[in-house]
């Protein structure tokens, strides 16, 4: 990698030593190891998700958790637990370091004492997709890629376009034809090639893989490379740190491809193994849309994997993933933590966008608003207790979904 790139990539001089403790990659099905020094997508053995593994014993001996806190407030403050070896390869726009906002009015209304919103809408490109894409693009740059393909229902495309531009690399995006305007435009403005595909994200995925193969580009599909989940893992690390190295009792997360839930569950496991936190993992709760709920159906059926959700429709584009590739890992995170999965309607999400904004001043994406609907249902069913500490994930900014908001004041 040239110096030009190196200079261009750093938004700030990172003065602390940042050595990744990554040791290898591991197949999430059979446990087979692979070196992390090569570009790789899914596991060749089982054709499933690969996880990055770290030398946690060494990290635990050499690094003090509190030394991370004084670093610049981006996700790269956790560099030891992220996959990039060479600082110069980091492609960053300042992702992460988002506030964990303790709600006042919502908590009071719901009779709760510890209700938080993790405000991921403040990330570059307006969603938490920035975290995963920053990690994946950085590692790919380190390993010498020429460019990227990205199939996306929306926000991942915007992030890939932005980070691709930042890295000075070609990015080809594949989107369902009816993807939101905001996502099409942010992709185009960043100079990516935008390919509109008939069908859904799965169809876009097939095309992206084919083009990547043909042109020697690296495909960034959700969980079909190991590092986007590592970037999203930083949400868990950050949340634990923000709570004073503690975990909440429950995390409510709008689930599409599942990178966030899988990443955070993995991150908490690593922190527990390091001894940086204690106790049991939060209940992971997946919220999906009525019109696309493969994980809810699989969870209810007691299945270990999901079936394709036919004719998936929802205005929450991040949730329009009819057959998540990593379904088995999402279900494991939910089940092993005593969590649950439930679906909400688009209208409920839109109403909750207003409610979150009216009560706390946070203008959420419909996906983020879905977590508030889920919370209310689970309090009503007494699945959650108002005394429990709960974190809602607002995964994106409502500014990307202005067409869902009418021009009139609601009474
Ligand atoms: C992609 C996306 C989701 C789903 O995220 P996963 O981690 O893939 O499950 C939720 N909300 C928004 C706004 C998204 O863009």
Instruction: Determine the Cα–Cα distance for residues 119 and 99; give it in Å rounded to an integer.
Output: 6
Residue 349 tokens, joined: 């999400």
Query: Both 111 and 193 in a single domain?
Result: no
- At what angle are helices 346-360 and 366-380 packed, to 10 degrees? 90
Q: Are 223 and 229 in contact (CB under 8 A)?
A: yes
Q: Are 268 and 281 in contact (CB under 8 A)?
A: yes
Residue 200 tokens, joined: 């859904």
3-state secondary structure the chain: CCHHHHHHHCCCCCCCCCCCCEEEEEECCCCCEECCCCCCCCCCCCCCCEEEEECHHHHHHHCCHHHHCCCCCCHHHHHHHCCCCCHHHCCCCCCCCCCEEECCHHHHHHCCCCEEEEEHHHCHHHECHHHHHHHHHHHHHHCCCCEEEEECCCHHHHHHHHHHHHCCCEEEEEEECCCCHHHHHHHHHCCCEEEEECCCHHHHHHHHHHHHHHHCCEECCCCCCCCHHHHHHHHHHHHHHHCCCCCCCEEEEECCCCHHHHHHHHHHHHHHHHCCCCCCCCEEEEEEECCECHHHHHHHCCCCCCCCCCCCCCCCHHHCCCCCCCHHHHHHHHHHCCCEEEEECHHHHHHHHHHHHHHHCCCECHHHHHHHHHHHHHHHCCCCCCCCCEEEEECEEHHHHHHHCCCCCCC
167 domain residue, yes or no: yes
Query: Both 239 and 344 in a single domain?
Result: yes
pLDDT band of 1, cuts 50, 70, 90: very low
397 domain residue, yes or no: yes
Query: Both 280 and 326 in a single domain?
Result: yes
Average confidence (pLDDT) over 356-376: 98
Query: Both 56 and 201 in a single domain?
Result: no
Average confidence (pLDDT) over 135-152: 94
pLDDT at 199 over 70: yes
Domains of the chain: total? 3
Residue-range definition of the domain harbouring residue 353? 100-127+228-404
Q: What is the pLDDT of residue 154?
A: 86
Mean pLDDT check: name the lowest of 40-54, 166-180, 242-256, 383-397: 166-180
Average confidence (pLDDT) over 127-146: 96
Query: Both 165 and 251 in a single domain?
Result: no
Which distant-in-sequence residues (6+ apart) come within 8 Å of 322 by Cβ?
Answer: 200, 201, 202, 292, 294, 308, 309, 310, 312
pLDDT at 11 over 90: no
168 domain residue, yes or no: yes
How many C-beta neighbours within 10 Å does residue 59 have?
A: 19
Tell me, rounded to whole angstroms, the distance of Cα 172 from its chain centroid: 21
CA angle, 343 as apex, 300 and 182 as ends, to 5°? Answer: 140
Strand 170-176 to strand 193-197: parallel, antiparallel, or no bridges (unpaired)? Answer: parallel
Closest ligand 1 atom number to CA of residue 257: 8
Pocket test for ligand 1, best of 98, 127, 159, 287 (most atoms within 8 A of CB): 127
Is the C-alpha dihedral spanning 120, 110, 335, 249 positive or negative? positive
Query: Both 108 and 78 in a single domain?
Result: no
CA 282 to ligand 1 centroid distance, Å: 19
**In this structure, which residue's CA is closest to atom 5 in ligand 1?**
256
Query: Both 276 and 365 in a single domain?
Result: yes
Strand 340-344 to strand 283-289: parallel, antiparallel, or no bridges (unpaired)? Answer: parallel
Pocket test for ligand 1, best of 118, 123, 124, 128 (most atoms within 8 A of CB): 128
pLDDT band of 219, cuts 50, 70, 90: very high
Query: Both 53 and 153 in a single domain?
Result: no
Query: Both 329 and 287 in a single domain?
Result: yes
**In this structure, which residue's CA is closest to atom 10 in ligand 1?**
318
Instruction: Determine the Cα–Cα distance for residues 46 and 15; give it in Å rounded to an integer.
Output: 41
Pocket test for ligand 1, best of 155, 289, 356, 398 (most atoms within 8 A of CB): 155
Query: Both 212 and 354 in a single domain?
Result: no
Which distant-in-sequence residues (6+ apart) come within 8 Å of 105 by Cβ?
Answer: 359, 360
138 domain residue, yes or no: no
**In this structure, which residue's CA is closest to atom 1 in ligand 1?**
318
CA 157 to ligand 1 centroid distance, Å: 12
7 domain residue, yes or no: no
pLDDT at 18 over 80: no
**In this structure, which residue's CA is closest to atom 3 in ligand 1?**
318
pLDDT at 30 over 50: yes
* Residue from 223, 238, 97 nearest 156 by CA: 223
221 domain residue, yes or no: no
pLDDT at 164 over 50: yes
pLDDT at 362 over 50: yes
Measured distance between the N- and C-terminal CA atoms of the chain, rounded to whole angstroms: 57
pLDDT tens-place string over residues 302-340: 999 999 999 999 999 999 999 999 999 999 999 999 999
Q: Give the domain CATH number at 156.
A: 3.40.50.1100
Instruction: Determine the Cα–Cα distance for residues 228 and 329; give it in Å rounded to an integer.
Output: 15
pLDDT band of 87, cuts 50, 70, 90: confident
pLDDT band of 7, cuts 50, 70, 90: very low
Pocket of ligand 1 (CB under 6 A): 127, 129, 155, 222, 254-260, 318, 365, 367, 395-396
CA 279 to ligand 1 centroid distance, Å: 27
Q: What is the pLDDT of residue 82?
A: 97
pLDDT band of 8, cuts 50, 70, 90: very low
Q: Are 164 and 193 in contact (CB under 8 A)?
A: no
pLDDT at 279 over 80: yes
Last residue of a domain, one of 43, 63, 89: 89
Q: What is the pLDDT of residue 203?
A: 87
305 domain residue, yes or no: yes
Which distant-in-sequence residues (6+ apart) come within 8 Å of 88 by Cβ?
Answer: 1, 5, 6, 9, 10
Query: Both 154 and 205 in a single domain?
Result: yes
CA 253 to ligand 1 centroid distance, Å: 9
């Amino acid at each position: 990698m040239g110096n030009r790139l190196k200079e261009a990539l750093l938004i700030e001089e990172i003065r602390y030593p940042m050595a990744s403790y990554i040791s290898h990659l591991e197949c999430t099905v059979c446990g087979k190891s692979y070196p992390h020094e090569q570009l790789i997508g899914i596991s060749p053995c089982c054709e499933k998700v690969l996880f990055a593994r770290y030398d946690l014993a060494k990290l635990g001996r050499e690094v003090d958790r509190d030394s991370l806190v004084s670093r610049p407030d981006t996700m790269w403050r956790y560099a030891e637990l992220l996959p990039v070896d060479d600082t110069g390869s980091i492609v960053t726009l300042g992702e992460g370091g988002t506030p964990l906002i303790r709600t006042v009015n919502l908590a009071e209304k719901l009779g709760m004492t510890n209700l938080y919103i993790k405000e991921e809408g403040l990330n570059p490109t307006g969603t938490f997709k920035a975290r995963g894409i920053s990690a994946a693009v950085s590692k790919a740059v380190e390993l010498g890629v020429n460019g990227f393909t990205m199939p996306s229902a929306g926000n991942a495309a915007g992030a890939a376009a932005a980070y691709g531009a930042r890295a000075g690399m070609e990015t080809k995006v594949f989107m369902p034809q009816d993807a939101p305007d905001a996502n099409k435009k942010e992709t185009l403005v960043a100079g990516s090639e935008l390919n509109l595909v008939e069908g859904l994200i799965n169809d876009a995925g097939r095309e992206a893989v084919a083009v990547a193969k043909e042109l020697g580009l690296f495909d960034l599909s959700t969980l079909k490379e190991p590092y986007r989940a590592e970037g999203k893992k930083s949400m868990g690390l950050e949340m634990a740190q923000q709570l004073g190295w503690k975990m909440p009792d429950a995390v409510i997360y709008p689930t599409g491809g599942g990178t966030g839930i899988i990443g955070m569950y993995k991150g908490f496991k690593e922190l527990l193994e390091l001894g940086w936190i204690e106790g049991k993992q939060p209940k992971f709760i997946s919220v999906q849309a009525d019109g696309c709920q493969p994980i809810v159906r699989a969870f209810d059926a007691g299945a270990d994997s999901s079936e394709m959700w036919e004719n998936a429709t929802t205005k929450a584009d991040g949730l329009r993933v009819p057959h998540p590739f990593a379904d088995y890992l999402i279900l494991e995170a939910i089940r092993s933590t005593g969590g649950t999965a439930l679906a909400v309607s688009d209208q409920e999400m839109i109403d909750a966008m207003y409610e979150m904004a009216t009560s706390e001043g946070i203008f959420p994406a419909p996906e983020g608003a879905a977590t508030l609907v889920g919370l209310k249902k689970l309090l009503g069913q007494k699945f959650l207790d108002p005394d429990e500490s709960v974190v809602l994930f607002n995964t994106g900014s409502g500014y990307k979904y202005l067409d869902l908001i009418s021009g009139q004041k609601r009474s």
